[in-house]
Amino acid sequence: MVWIGGAPGAGKSTIARGLARRGDLPLHPIDLWTYAHLDRLPPMRPLAEDLAEGPEYAADAFVRIARLRLELVAADVRERSLGDVPALVEGPQLFPSMADDVTAAVWLLPDAEQTRRAREERLARADDPAGRARLEGLLARDAVLADQVRREAAERGRAVVEVTATPDWSAISAAVEAALGPLPRLPAGEELSRQRRYENLAACTQGRLWQADIGLAELPPYPFACECGTSGCAADWPATPDEFDARQDQGWLKTH
């Protein structure tokens, strides 16, 4: 595995997706396996209860769960049978203190304004009253977690990229690539297509389970990767899981 960690609003998902597409890397966002992990974890308190105890308590609870999930993430990556090609693992659950055996990693840390904007934009895309009610508590917890990442990264000599309220995304992406260094690539053709299909199916499952969990009437479109198998293909297709399912009968998803 190589890691991109950090707080909400730092552009982790977008930057990881772009890097994976350009570099023919298997992409493994931890959040795409959230519901798959729930059945393999001990019972957890509701998020609202953790937040009610204060940002420090909620941050500690998040880190405890993240440490438990790390073992599950490693098992999920092994199931992909990637050989010598590392999975690009992305998510806020990754902390420098967990990365002793990870060769390459970088953390993206937004300032408070950027984090707030990202969370508010996310809420605007879905009817999620519970999410709106806990916004301030989440932002306070985010700040505690960001400080923990900065401290742990400094102690271990790990790379951190600060993301301001007016981010230069090209420069941030270049800094991430420099921190991770050159990486082996998936072979073009069927293996690259197979890994993109694996990621798309995970996105379908996660979307539907999230929709059922929060009672969302309709899912907004989100990006599915082109499965053409061409090296460096960065094309995405914005669609719902139902629309993706309808295209599967035509073979690999090709968006260009």
The SS3 of residue 26 is: coil
- Give the pair of three-digit tokens for residue 115: 């984090």
**Closest CA relative to residue 81, chosen from 182, 3, 191, 205:** 191
Q: What is the CB neighbour count within 10 angstroms for residue 208?
A: 16
In the chain, domain spans: 2-180, 190-248
- Position 29 scores a pLDDT of 96
Q: What is the CB neighbour count within 10 angstroms for residue 245?
A: 12
Cα 82 to the center of its chain, rounded Å = 19
- Position 127 scores a pLDDT of 62
Packing angle, helices 55-79 and 135-156, rounded to 10 = 70
The class (CATH top level) of 2-180 is alpha beta
- Position 128 scores a pLDDT of 67
Confidence of residue 250 (pLDDT cuts 50, 70, 90): confident
Tens-place pLDDT, residues 141-152? 999 999 999 999
- Position 248 scores a pLDDT of 85
Tens-place pLDDT, residues 215-229? 888 888 999 999 999
- Position 178 scores a pLDDT of 97
110 beta partners: 163
- Position 126 scores a pLDDT of 65
Share above pLDDT 70 across residues of the chain, in percent, rounded to a whole number: 97
225 beta partners: 236
Confidence of residue 7 (pLDDT cuts 50, 70, 90): confident
Backbone angles phi, psi at 89, to 5 degrees: -95, 130
- Give the pair of three-digit tokens for residue 80: 């992909």
Across the range 232-237, mean pLDDT stands at: 95
Helix ranges (DSSP H) in 134-223: 135-156, 169-180, 190-214
Confidence of residue 197 (pLDDT cuts 50, 70, 90): very high
Confidence of residue 9 (pLDDT cuts 50, 70, 90): confident
- Position 114 scores a pLDDT of 85
106 beta partners: 4, 159
**Closest CA relative to residue 108, chosen from 161, 35, 71, 65:** 161
Strand duo 88-90 + 2-6: pairing: parallel
Tens-place pLDDT, residues 124-134? 766 667 667 78
- Position 180 scores a pLDDT of 97
Across the range 8-34, mean pLDDT stands at: 94
Establish how many alpha carbons lie within 13 A of residue 87's alpha carbon, considering only the half-sphere containing its beta carbon.
22
Tens-place pLDDT, residues 176-189? 999 999 999 999 99
Backbone angles phi, psi at 90, to 5 degrees: -135, 135
- Give the pair of three-digit tokens for residue 170: 């090209």
Please, what sign has the CA dihedral across residues 168, 174, 180, 184? Answer: positive
Query: CB–CB of 226/254 below 8 Å?
Result: yes
- Give the pair of three-digit tokens for residue 49: 């209860």
Least confident of 75-84, 86-95, 108-117: 108-117
Confidence of residue 122 (pLDDT cuts 50, 70, 90): confident
Rg (CA), the chain: 18
pTM for this entry: 0.90
Residue pointed to by tokens 């190589």:
2
Across the range 97-102, mean pLDDT stands at: 93
Question: CA angle, 230 as apex, 251 and 27 as ends, to 5°?
Answer: 85
- Position 217 scores a pLDDT of 87
